[in-house]
Amino acid sequence: MVMAHTADPQPVVHKPHGWRRWLFATNHKDIGTLYLWFAFCMFLVGGVLALCIRTELFRPGLQFFQPALFNQLTTLHGLIMVFGAIMPAFTGLANWMLPLMLGAPDMAFARMNNWSFWLLPPAMALLLLSFLVPGGAAATGWTLYAPLSVQLGMGMDLTIFAIHILGVSSIMGAINIVVTIINLRAPGMPMMRMPMFAWASLITAYLIIAVMPVLAGAVTMVLTDRHFGTHFFNAAGGGDPILYQHVFWFFGHPEVYIMALPAFGIVSQVIPTFARKPLFGYTSMVYATSSIGVLSFMVWAHHMFVTGMPATAQLFFMYATMLIAVPTGVKVFNWIATMWEGSMSFETPMLFAIGFILLFTIGGLSGVTLSVAAVDVQLHGSYYVVAHFHYVLVAGALFSLFAAVYYWFPKMTGRMYGERLGKLHFWWSLLWFNVTFFPMHFLGLAGMPRRIPDYALQFTTFNQIASVGAFMFGLGQLIFLFNILHSLRHGKTAPQQPWEGANTLEWRLPTPAPYHSFHEAPELETAENGVVLDMRGGKHG
Amino acid sequence: MSCLRMVGSAVACLLLPGEAASAQELAINLPSPATSLARLEYDLHSMLLLVTGVIFLLVLAVMLYAIVRHRKSAGHIARQFHENTTVEIIWTVIPLLILLAIAWPATRAVLNQKSTHGEDMTIKITGYQWKWRYDYLDDNFGYMSHLATPRTMPAGSTALPAHYLLEVDEPLVVPTGRKVRLLLTANDVIHSWWVPQLGIKQDAIPGFLRDAWFIVDQPGIYRGQCSELCGKDHGFMPIVVEARSPEDYARWRDARLKQAAASADDPSRVWSLAALRERGEKVYGQNCVPCHQASGKGIPGSFPALDGSPVVNGDKAAHINIVLNGSKKNPAMQAWGKQLSDTDIAAVITYERNAWGNHTGQLVQPAEVKAARGGAA
């Protein structure tokens, strides 16, 4: 009894081993790791589908995939990359990093966190299984437009069910992020000082909560039209096929920012670190990110300029879309102003961040071109659009994810990644990305529609260039995989502070970050963008 | 605006200097406009390319300067500034002004695209899986337009026709210099009618009418494709528009009208098995091959085989019913009664019942189809 009173009560270090550690995971780091590996696997699966597409498109004529299967490939490539790769990767990063950057012991709802992750594998299994059912997988493009989606076989039902599950997973993940950020910040970390990555994750989470139910509604209407005799999208029954597009894109446009805002957040952490300078215009960054979030709800019909909307609607959505260029421009200018007069070094995360700014700017400017409704008439549904959104999603979201993984790898694992391989990965990806996607602008302008398995002869050359580029780009991602796997075992031991200019809270933790960090909240003195000036207390398990 | 167009193509050529000479073959810009709308879009795009190109180069230049000069390895010491209200206002306001400058011509172009009134003639375009139908509403005739090049290449063959996938059996014929108003709709799913040189892309939506317009300047052949994913053969429903001088067009129209009158089938005519089977093979080739295949074997799991099918070899009435009214079980089987004449339906059914391994020896006369239609209605 006396002993028990006098001994300092040790916190129970809860760390299950074996498969239980992962299946029953409640630790934000374990769940973050699960998310990141899952996303990478899905990135490889989606990438293989993309390579199948590029294989068929290497030459005119049908060589490898019949049209019905080809359409399934494009559809599943889109769905897997969006819902299986990019979104889970950002959720995984938020899981890993937010508690460390904000001084929280874990995510707010640890068990819900487990559930949000473990919904993903069955949902993706449904999507992949749909290839095997009679009629094959959904073949509508990732947008699942009615009435085509009403027409198809049972693969569409599996897809709809998968989307419902993915939606539940994303919403739970987003609620966790919102509650963690609002409630679990350490004393001395007010909202207007927290890292941009936290701001970006917060706004993204609100977007997810707002629009995932809308997508669920859209696909549920397709489901009832398919099986329960409703006519939401059938004119003969008083419905309207265009209604589907309005509902879908009310989800779909904010979805674009769900995949872009976290990238903005990552770049806003990486650039200041390697420029050894505070982020320029932190306050305006917060406002720009928020206003992009709000505006993203008002521009959806720019995806529908050729459906035949009235002139007034064309004009409204054109103006609203053009307006988004302003806050986006502010962000790009702020990043460049952060680099300006800095003391820059160019480690792999910085290279990917700079590559991001450069290529995202191209994607943004082709977006301005597309926003002009009169010009969009020529570009809509063409390869120009394919080029545009791959500049935003591959060079945008994916490059930022690579920057993030390289940047935080030492803190996550306690080891350094291979810098030379990292740089090779960057230059290789930069080169072949552009070889793949830049010619698609030309293809679109010259009149090649997207989602076709075969094409007219004048499109041959650029398609061949794009196919070669795609294979080389895909090959380059194995450099990344090798670098990560090799460094996990054989990487140099990382110091607590591997980056000279990094000064947010996670770098105050030992390396690798302890399994249970910030058992007790630290007392912080902070500056903008999560810069920690002083820290007292903060025990680890 | 024509100088803008030159700048546009110059910028486009600069991006690929080596290819400029063979620009004809290796198109990197919008095709040369053939209507005022297409010209408007071309010029607007050239202006945007110029403006966005300059902005990109400025951003790139500033960034490169910083990368070269403000680097640690060059001994640059970071200056710790992190805000400047004046600069931030400037780089918010200037993009806003640029956008306003773009918005003005962009608005005028949208209003121009939408002014479909004052037409000289009207053509109704209907999208089908996977072909187009053109109806000349003023003259009361119309026809289907199918892909005319072979759909697949035998392995090892290298000689694809010059207009591979861009050739149709019956192009849309229009007069030059006349305002043509298009009314677009679709029979099954959403299609999109896109002819780049005419500056038109308009979705064709089942159950709704949308409109668009063009005036073609010069006689010629203008090609395009469906640009909204509409199922399996989305990539195989091209569009060909043939613009003729008004006199030439009038001659074509008169010939068409005569031909339509002559070939109008009398559904009470009694056909021989051989004649009906021969006609049915053509109808089958134009309409049924994409799903049921030329071999009649279908695609297992998606589209049922007709060779040996119990419907095809069984009761005639059930066979007529499914072709006329479509399948409730599998919506991909359309109600062909809406598209094909009694004679065509009778012919294709007769063909199916006497092709491949099906040897029923039965023939279906157009009158039977007509009677079945009456029963359904």
pLDDT score recorded for residue B158: 65
Q: Which residues of B touch A530 (CB under 8 A)?
A: none
Write the DSSP string, A82-109: IIIIIHHHHHHHHHHHHHHHHT-SS-S-
Return the CATH fold of B273-376. Cytochrome Bc1 Complex; Chain D, domain 2 (1.10.760)
The per-residue pLDDT for range A93-142, each reduced to its tens digit, is 999 999 999 999 999 999 999 999 999 999 999 999 999 998 899 999 99
The CA-CA-CA angle for residues B358, B363, B368, to 5°, reads 130
Q: Does A192 touch chain B if contact means CB atoms closer than 8 Å?
A: no
Q: Does B93 touch chain A if contact means CB atoms closer than 8 Å?
A: no
Amino acid, res. A313? A
**Assigned superfamily of B121-148+166-263:** Cupredoxins -  blue copper proteins (2.60.40.420)
Cβ within 8 Å of residue A205, ≥6 positions away: A173, A174, A175, A177, A178, A181
Q: Which residues of B touch A283 (CB under 8 A)?
A: 83
Indicate the SS3 state at residue B191.
strand
CB distance A328 to A361 below 8 Å: no
Compute the radius of gyration of chain B from its Cα atoms. 28
Any idea which residue has 């023939």 for tokens?
B363
Identity of the residue in B25, B112, B188 whose CB atom sits nearest the CB atom of A458? B25
Q: Does B328 touch chain A if contact means CB atoms closer than 8 Å?
A: no
C-alpha A230/C-alpha B246 separation (Å) is 48
Q: Which of B316, B370, B372, B371 is nearest to B341 (CA)?
A: B370
pLDDT score recorded for residue B16: 45
Q: Which residues of A touch B163 (CB under 8 A)?
A: 456-457
The active-site residue out of A29, A30, A140, A142 is: A142
Per cent of chain A over pLDDT 70 is 97
| Mean confidence (pLDDT) of chain A | 94
Indicate the SS3 state at residue B154.
coil
- Mean per-residue pLDDT for A447-471? 95
pLDDT(A504) > 80: yes
pLDDT score recorded for residue A62: 87
Q: Which residues of A touch B233 (CB under 8 A)?
A: 67
Looking at chain A, the number of H-run helices and the number of E-run strands are 20, 2
Residue of chain B with shortest Cα separation from A453: B235
- Mean per-residue pLDDT for A204-224? 97
pLDDT score recorded for residue B154: 53
Q: Which residues of A touch B230 (CB under 8 A)?
A: 148
Question: For the packed helices A399-413 and A460-490, what is the interaxial angle rounded to 10 degrees?
Answer: 10
C-alpha A537/C-alpha B331 separation (Å) is 67
Q: Tell me which DSSP letter residue A408 carries.
A: H
- Mean per-residue pLDDT for A58-74? 92
Torsional class of A85: left (φ above 0), alpha (ψ -120 to 50), beta (otherwise): alpha
* Residue A466's pLDDT band (cuts 50, 70, 90): very high
pLDDT score recorded for residue B157: 63
C-alpha A312/C-alpha A308 separation (Å) is 11
Complete domains list, chain A, with CATH: 21-536 (1.20.210.10)
> Is A145 in contact with B59 (Cβ distance < 8 A)?
no
Catalytic (active site) residue A164: no
CB distance A129 to A46 below 8 Å: no
Question: pLDDT tens, position by position, for chain B (377 residues)?
Answer: 445 555 555 555 444 443 333 444 688 999 999 999 999 999 999 999 999 999 999 999 999 999 999 999 999 998 988 889 999 999 999 999 999 999 999 999 999 999 999 999 999 999 999 999 999 999 989 999 999 887 665 556 667 788 889 999 999 999 999 999 999 999 999 999 999 999 999 999 999 999 999 999 999 999 999 999 999 999 999 999 999 999 999 999 999 998 877 777 777 788 888 888 888 888 898 888 888 888 888 888 778 899 888 888 888 888 998 998 888 777 778 888 888 888 889 899 999 998 888 888 888 888 888 888 875 44
Cβ within 8 Å of residue A464, ≥6 positions away: A58, A59
The active-site residue out of A35, A199, A249, A257 is: A257
Any idea which residue has 């999109």 for tokens?
B192
Any idea which residue has 């080809």 for tokens?
A70
Q: HEC profile for A258-297?
A: HCCHHHHHHHHHHHHHHHCCCCCCHHHHHHHHHHHHHHCC
Catalytic (active site) residue A450: yes
Any idea which residue has 């071109």 for tokens?
A369
pLDDT score recorded for residue B21: 37
> Is B70 in contact with A344 (Cβ distance < 8 A)?
yes
Cβ within 8 Å of residue A175, ≥6 positions away: A109, A112, A205, A209
C-alpha B330/C-alpha B340 separation (Å) is 20
Contact residues, A window 313-372, toward B, CB-based 8 Å cutoff: 314-315, 318-319, 322-323, 325-326, 329-330, 332-333, 336-346, 354, 357-358, 361-362, 365-366, 368-369, 372
Q: Which residues of A touch B84 (CB under 8 A)?
A: 337
pLDDT score recorded for residue A12: 58
Amino acid, res. A6? T
pLDDT score recorded for residue A299: 95
> Is A449 in contact with B194 (Cβ distance < 8 A)?
yes
Consecutive H or E run containing B133: strand B131-136
- Chain B nearest-CA distance from A22, in A, is 39
Question: Beta B210-214 vs B172-175: how paired, if at all?
Answer: unpaired
Identity of the residue in B87, B102, B302 whose CB atom sits nearest the CB atom of A153? B302
Catalytic (active site) residue A169: yes
Write the DSSP string, A133-198: STT-S--STTTT-TTHHHHS-THHHHHHHHHHHHHHHHHHHHHHHHHHHHH-PPTT--GGGS-HHH
Identity of the residue in A377, A447, A454 whose CB atom sits nearest the CB atom of B235? A454
The active-site residue out of A170, A371, A511, A517 is: A170
Torsional class of A279: left (φ above 0), alpha (ψ -120 to 50), beta (otherwise): beta
> Is A375 in contact with B189 (Cβ distance < 8 A)?
no
The per-residue pLDDT for range A174-205, each reduced to its tens digit, is 999 999 999 999 999 999 999 999 999 999 99
Cβ within 8 Å of residue B301, ≥6 positions away: A134, A135, A136
pLDDT score recorded for residue B361: 85
- Mean per-residue pLDDT for A397-403? 97
Compute the radius of gyration of chain A from its Cα atoms. 24
Cβ within 8 Å of residue A56, ≥6 positions away: A62, A63, A64, A65, A70, A453, A454
Contact residues, A window 293-312, toward B, CB-based 8 Å cutoff: 306-308, 310-311
Q: Does B177 touch chain A if contact means CB atoms closer than 8 Å?
A: no
The per-residue pLDDT for range A7-52, each reduced to its tens digit, is 455 555 677 888 999 999 999 999 999 999 999 999 999 999 999 9
Catalytic (active site) residue A77: yes
Q: Which residues of A touch B234 (CB under 8 A)?
A: 67, 71, 449, 451-452
So where are chain B's domains?
2-114, 121-148+166-263, 273-376
Give the ranges where A11-118 is alpha helix by DSSP (H): 19-23, 28-56, 67-79, 87-102, 110-118
The per-residue pLDDT for range A311-324, each reduced to its tens digit, is 999 999 999 999 99
Q: Which residues of B touch A67 (CB under 8 A)?
A: 232-236
Q: Which of B321, B150, B167, B190 is nearest to B240 (CA)?
A: B167
Consecutive H or E run containing B134: strand B131-136
Residue of A74, A148, A231, A312 for testing the chain B interface, max B β-carbons within 10 Å: A148
pLDDT score recorded for residue B260: 79
Contact residues, B window 264-303, toward A, CB-based 8 Å cutoff: 299, 301-302
Catalytic (active site) residue A500: no
Q: Which residues of B touch A71 (CB under 8 A)?
A: 229, 231-232, 234
C-alpha A380/C-alpha A304 separation (Å) is 9
Identity of the residue in A277, A318, A449 whose CB atom sits nearest the CB atom of B225? A449
Any idea which residue has 């003391």 for tokens?
A343
> Is B77 in contact with A63 (Cβ distance < 8 A)?
no
At the top level of CATH, the class of B2-114 is mainly alpha
pLDDT score recorded for residue B156: 60
Cβ within 8 Å of residue B104, ≥6 positions away: none
Residue B21, Cβ density class (10 Å: 0-12 exposed, 13-18 middle, ≥19 buried): exposed
Predicted model pTM:
0.88
